[in-house]
Structure 1
Amino acid sequence: MRNLMTYRGLNLFLVVMAVVAMAFALLFLQRYMGFAPCPLCVFQRIGLMVMGVFALLAVLINPKRGAIRLLLWLGSLLGILWSTFVAARHVWIQHLPPDQVPSCGPGLDYWLEALPMQEVVHQVLSGSGECAVVAWRFLGLSIPEQALIVFVFLTLVHGVILLRILRK
C-alpha cells in the first residue's frame, strides 16, 4: 500500500484507471452493449488517453527532477481536466428540457472532413441531440454522470500527486 502512494505508484494507478475505463467503454459499452459513442464521448476518451499517456511516461521514466515530474503531471492533469469539463457539459446537455436540446447534426466524421479543427471542437462542445439521449443507466446514473464521477476522482488523485512532487 505504501508503494501505491509514491509518485510512481500514483501514476501507475492513473494508467490502470485509464486502461480500465477505456476497456469498459470499448469492450463493454461499444462491443457488448452495442452503443456507438457520441462526439462528446469521443472527446472524453481523448482526454482520458492523454492523461494515461503522460502518467505512463511518468511511470516509465520516473524522473528525479521536480521540474520534469511537474511537467508530466501537468500534461496528465490537462488531459483529465479536459475529460472532466466535457463530461460535465455532457451531463448538462442530458439534463436540458427537451425543447432546449440541440438538434442532431452531421456526425463527427463529417465535421472532421469538412471543418477546421477549431470549428470541430466548437461543434462537438455545443452538443447534439444524440448526446442528450440517455441509453443506459447503472445505479440511476447515466454513462456521462458515471464518467464525471470517475474523472473528478482522478483529478483528486492528481492533487495527491502534486503534494508528493512539492514535498520533495
Structure 2
Amino acid sequence: MSHPLARLSVRHWSLAGLAFCVLMMSVALVLEHVVGLAPCPLCIFQRVAVLAAAAVFVVAALHNPTGRVGAGVYGVLGLAAVIGGIGVAWRHLWLQSLPPDEVPSCGPGLDYMMELLPWRDVLAMVLSGSGECAEIDFLLLGISLPGWTLIGFVVLAVAPLGLVLSAFRERR
C-alpha cells in the first residue's frame, strides 16, 4: 500500500503550491496596504520569487503532464524560484543582523534605479543591501518579516519537491 502523498498528481502538487503562494502574497499585501508597512527592495524581490513560483505552479496545474519529464521540469523550475526566494530572504535577515555601524547606507529607491540603470546593476545594488532593508519594522513571536518569509519559502519548497518526487515514482 502506498502513502497518500505518493498518489498526488502534478495538478494536486501545483495547486497546493499555488495556494500557498496566494497566501504569502495576501499576507504581504495586507501588511503593505492595511498595516502600512512599505516594502523595501529586498521585500519586493522576495515577492517576485513568490510570483515566479506561482507562475510555474499555474502552468503546471493547467498542463498536468502525465510523464516523468514534465513533472520533473516543473518541479525544478518551481524549486529554482523558491531557492531564489530563500537566498533573498536569507540575505535580508543577514542585513538585519548587522550592527548599526556596519549597515550599508540607504541608496536611491528601487523605482528610480529601475528607470536609470540596467537590470543587472539594479540587482547588484539591491542584493548588496541598503539601510532601509536592515530596519526591523515588525516582529511576530520575535521573528522579523524576512524570517517569516524564509519560513514560508521553506514550507513552499514542499510543493516543487513533491513534483520532483512524483517524476521519480513508478507509473502504473
Smaller-chain TM-score bracket: over 0.9
1:74-89 paired onto structure 2 within 5 Å: 74-89=76-91
Give a deviation string over 1:20-67, Cα, whole Å, max 9, x none.
1111101x2111110111000000010110101111111111011222
Which residue number in structure 2 is paired with residue 7 of structure 1? 10
Q: Give the partner amino acid of 2:14.
A: N
CA shift for structure 1 position 70: 1.7
Matches within 5 A, 1:48-87: 48-87=50-89
Q: What stretches of structure 1 of length at least 5 have no aligned partner?
A: none
Aligned to 2:93: 91
CA contact (8 A) 1:51 1:79 kept: yes
Between the two proteins, the alignment pairs up a number of residues equal to 167
Q: Which amino acid aligns with 2:21?
A: A
Describe how 1:17-166 pairs up with structure 2 within 5 A: 17-26=20-29, 28-166=30-168
Between the aligned partners of 1:158 and 1:51, the Cα distance in structure 2 is: 9
- 2:157 match: secondary structure: helix
Q: Which moved more, 1:110-119 or 1:69-78?
A: 69-78
* Alpha-carbon distance change, 114 to 71 in structure 1, aligned in 2, over 3 angstroms: same
Kindly provide the CA deviation profile for residues 109-158 of structure 1, in whole angstroms up to 9, marking residues without a partner as x: 11101111111000000110000111011111100000001101222442
Tell me if structure 2 keeps the 8 A contact 1:50–1:75.
Answer: no
RCO comparison, higher one (Cα < 8 Å, 6+): 2
CA RMSD of aligned residues (A): 1.6
Rounded Cα–Cα distance in structure 2 between residues aligned with 1:148 and 1:31: 21
Residue identity (%) = 40
64-73 or 136-145, which deviates more: 64-73
Structure 2 gap segments, 5+ residues each = none
Relative to the length of structure 1, the TM-score reads 0.93
